[in-house]
Amino acid sequence: MPTNIDLKALSQLPDSKGHFGPYGGRFVSETLMAALKQLEETYEKLWRDPAFQEEFDRDLAHYVGRPSPLYFAKHLTDKVGGAKIYLKREDLNHTGAHKVNNTIGQALLAKYTGKPRVIAETGAGQHGVASATVAARMGLECQVYMGAEDVQRQALNVYRMKLLGAEVIAVESGTRTLKDAMNEAMRDWVTNVDDTFYIIGTAAGPHPYPKLVRDFQCIIGREARQQCLDQTGRLPDALVACVGGGSNAIGLFHPFIEDENVKMYGVEAGGYGVETGHHAAPLSAGAPGVLHGNRTYLMSDEAGQIVGTHSVSAGLDYPGVGPEHSFLKDTGRAEYVDATDEEAMDAFRILTRVEGIMPALESSHAVAYAMKLAKEMDKDQTIVVNLSGRGDKDIHTVAQIDGINI
């Protein structure tokens, strides 16, 4: 890591215009500018309001079930042979992933701004389920945009959303995946901006979303930091999290930014291998550009068109990434690597068999890299892996890969 960066200043970003260095910002059409400004003002006020904080904390404790455990994966550690691997069990949250930390927060913002309708985009369906869940609880109308291809591969979550009272809209445009769902959600928001709150599912999009989603997700890192101190008497040596848009990763990383000895590894989807071009790894193989309201690393071709991505996990199948990760990469504070479909599948099977924990395919990418990393580290060192979601939703995908029809 470069020694000349001011970690305290880095942890206080974004600036007042939503910039993380050259990244982030607010690149949207004019119709949305007023709504984003209003959201920013509401958020800045409420986030400092003790009553809001108390309500948020109470929901996280009694509805989500926080704090989530930090579990020492002894059997996985023994099998790998190397650094001790700890799992931050976001899979044990209500609805089965870290996504709900953010939707609880944004639903409270929707409530305080008096908007009766919420919309969301979703890839794997976890954010859609988490949005439909909070909408059901608060009596809000909810529509979820989902790429038609993802509707196919995540049928279970689609039905879950319907049971919760949400309408799932299959998006047929473009590549029919997460990026197209996000386009369509933006179009809906432009049209219905007066009565609709857009619950963005990841720490990306126009300012203030990358900031507020991060702030809501930072509960992961704050808990993990304290739990690690309590259980091991010191901070971890490394953090590992998967990165699609990057909300679970930034939630884990951010509270450790100033702890300069804690290394951070974001694991992107290597798909069939980054060298094949069929992947979803903009930080590893892309370049800066502008999409979905922010400047960030993107996968686009030499003419600036966004290119199709591939990952076995729908939740990582996205050509962009949250802008804070782009800046953490450029500053060298975090390192970004990838795990292929095959490596993630192996990790899925190993964790399931040795620990009895079935990770989401997204989180399996983090487990895969952590297993590699642990081997290169000493036995007295520790790695905290964000187990961002549970794998129940992926059973069909895994069975299909195994050639089994359920």
Partner 1 sequence: MSRISSSFEKLNAEGRKALIPYVTAGDCSPEVTVPLLHALVEAGADIIELGVPFSDPMADGPVIQLACERALAHGVRLSDVLDMVSEFRKTDAETPLVLMGYLNPVEIMGYENFAKNASEAGVDGVLTVDLPPEESDEFNQIMQAQGIDTIYLMAPTTEEERVKYICENGSGYLYYVSVKGVTGSSALDVQSVSDKLDIVRKYTDLPVGVGFGIKDAESASSVAEVADGVIVGSVLVNKIAELVKDKAQIAPQVSAIIKDMRTAMDS
Contact residues toward partner 1 (CB under 8 A) are 17, 25-35, 173-174, 179-180, 183, 186-187, 190-194, 287-293, 295, 298, 300, 302-307
Instruction: Report the nearest approach of partner 1 to the CB of residue 323 (Å).
Output: 13
* Alpha helix positions (H), 24-93: 33-47, 50-59, 74-80
Among the options 84, 88, 99, 179, which is catalytic? Answer: 99
Burial 225-245 (b: 16+ CB within 10 A, else e): bebbeeebeebbbbbbbbbbb
Instruction: Report the nearest approach of partner 1 to the CB of residue 283 (Å).
Output: 17
Question: Which residue number, 96 or 201, has a Cβ lying nearer to partner 1?
Answer: 201
- 8 labelled catalytic: no
Question: Which residue number, 68 or 175, has a Cβ lying nearer to partner 1?
Answer: 175
Question: Which residue number, 124 or 178, has a Cβ lying nearer to partner 1?
Answer: 178
- 99 labelled catalytic: yes
- 40 labelled catalytic: no
Among the options 40, 121, 223, 343, which is catalytic? Answer: 121
Residues 168-175: contacts with CB within 8 Å, 24+ apart? 168/128, 168/143, 168/144, 169/143, 169/144, 169/145, 170/146, 171/145, 171/146, 171/147, 172/148, 175/147, 175/149, 175/308, 175/309
Residue 208, preceding bond cis, omega within 30 degrees? yes
Among the options 179, 263, 388, 393, which is catalytic? Answer: 388
Question: Which residue number, 179 or 333, has a Cβ lying nearer to partner 1?
Answer: 179
Q: At 265, phi and psi to the nearest 5?
A: -125, 120
Q: What angle do CA 247, 208, 26 make, to 5 degrees?
A: 110
Instruction: Report the nearest approach of partner 1 to the CB of residue 18 (Å).
Output: 9
Question: Which residue number, 34 or 395, has a Cβ lying nearer to partner 1?
Answer: 34
Residues 6 or more apart whose CB falls under 8 angstroms from that of 298 comprise 282, 286, 287, 288, 289, 290, 291, 306, 319, 320, 321
Instruction: Report the nearest approach of partner 1 to the CB of residue 295 (Å).
Output: 8
Instruction: Report the nearest approach of partner 1 to the CB of residue 138 (Å).
Output: 25
Strand duo 238-242 + 382-387: pairing: parallel
Q: Which residues are catalytic?
A: 99, 121, 388
